[in-house]
Amino acid sequence: MSNELIRLAHGAGGRLTGELVEELFLDRFRNPELATLSDSSRLETGPGRLYFTTDSYVVSPLFFPGGDIGSLAVHGTVNDLAMNGARPLYLSAGFILEEGLERKLLERVVDSMARAADAAGVKIVTGDTKVVPKGLADGLYLNTAGIGLRPEDLPLLGPEAIREGDAILINGSIGDHGAAIITAREAGFENCTISSDSAALWELVAALETGGVRLHALRDATRGGLGGILAELADQAGAEFLIREEKIPVREEVRGVCEIFGFDPLFLANEGKMVIFCPADESDSALEILRRHPLGRQAAVIGRVTAAGSSRPRVTLETLIGGHRLIDQPSGELVPRIC
């Protein structure tokens, strides 16, 4: 394909659409299911519980330290499945392209998606492309959907499985993604070393379960950050959590960004961090398993479930100076277009 810019005709379903699909998407995502180029794909999943998720990505900028909109879309969708204990299998990819987008930029995004999907062990098996007039899409937007499978003999994970006394863990430092996006947008941070933590977490989930840890609930701490996710889970579970500020890993660079902009790292977005609930007597085993993996080397036990079946579900933070602070869900979006 010789055209260097995306044109409206690339989304019209004709020859240029066919060229874009064949030369770019099919070439990068090639697999038997996608090769049919049918309106839907037949998938072999086997017996078990099937999970399905979808998400859209409008992150700005499209490329940021540690990732880009393509890898972020794969990681985010894979993680949404993994948090239910479902092994991610298949993804779809819907591209909303802006007229005038540079072909080379789109190639970078698609190449990144392909690498991320391959690393996560998933196939991109169907998709769609639309082109909108210049000025209506800020370059490109992405929508992905995912299908995953969980064996029927494994217990269901979720807020309803959280029990009093459960340990609360996280697999690493918080706020990295939010801080990376902020510093990528703002002038004066050209030498900043903060990178997004964007990553697929399924390997960690699988390692915990194969290692014998009885997982009760998982949640990736994306928009709303660790604080927002814990408050949401407490409400859904009808439980009370106590977390300790001194146990929550935060990089000094992230603390510095938060001080400059007046943010709380508890509410900054993450794209490679999950909250884990498991029996307290299995937390040491969970930590050992997590810390063996590159995505879990900073794993920590950050608190516990102090009550279940509570009429006043809440999250209490024990501060560094020994005080207590209630953590609530944020009322708005701290940093827009973070994913």
Which pLDDT score, from 0 to 100, does residue 40 have?
Answer: 67
Mean pLDDT of the chain: 94
Q: Give one DSSP letter per residue of 265-295, joined into a string.
A: GGGS--SS-EEEEE-GGGHHHHHHHHHTSGG
Give the chain's domains with CATH numbers. Answer: 8-150 (3.30.1330.10), 159-327 (3.90.650.10)
CA-CA distance, 226 to 170, in Å (whole number)?
9
Closest CA to 131 of 305, 24, 10, 297: 10
Q: Are 181 and 338 in contact (CB under 8 A)?
A: yes
From 43-52, 102-111, 201-210, 231-240, the region with the lowest mean pLDDT: 43-52
The pLDDT-based confidence of 208 (bands split at 50, 70, 90) is very high
pTM: 0.92
Say which residue, 48 or 171, is predicted with more confidence.
171
Using a pLDDT cut of 90, give the percent of the chain over it.
82
Cα 76 to its chain centre, rounded Å, is 3
Return the minimum-mean-pLDDT range out of 80-94, 116-130, 179-193: 179-193
Task: Read off the pLDDT of residues 293-303 as tens digits, 9 standing for 90 and up.
Answer: 999 999 999 99
Which token pair is 101? 């987008």
Digit-coded pLDDT (tens) for 50-106: 999 999 999 999 999 999 999 999 999 999 999 999 999 999 999 999 999 999 999
What is the model's pLDDT at position 12? 72
- Residue type for position 284: D
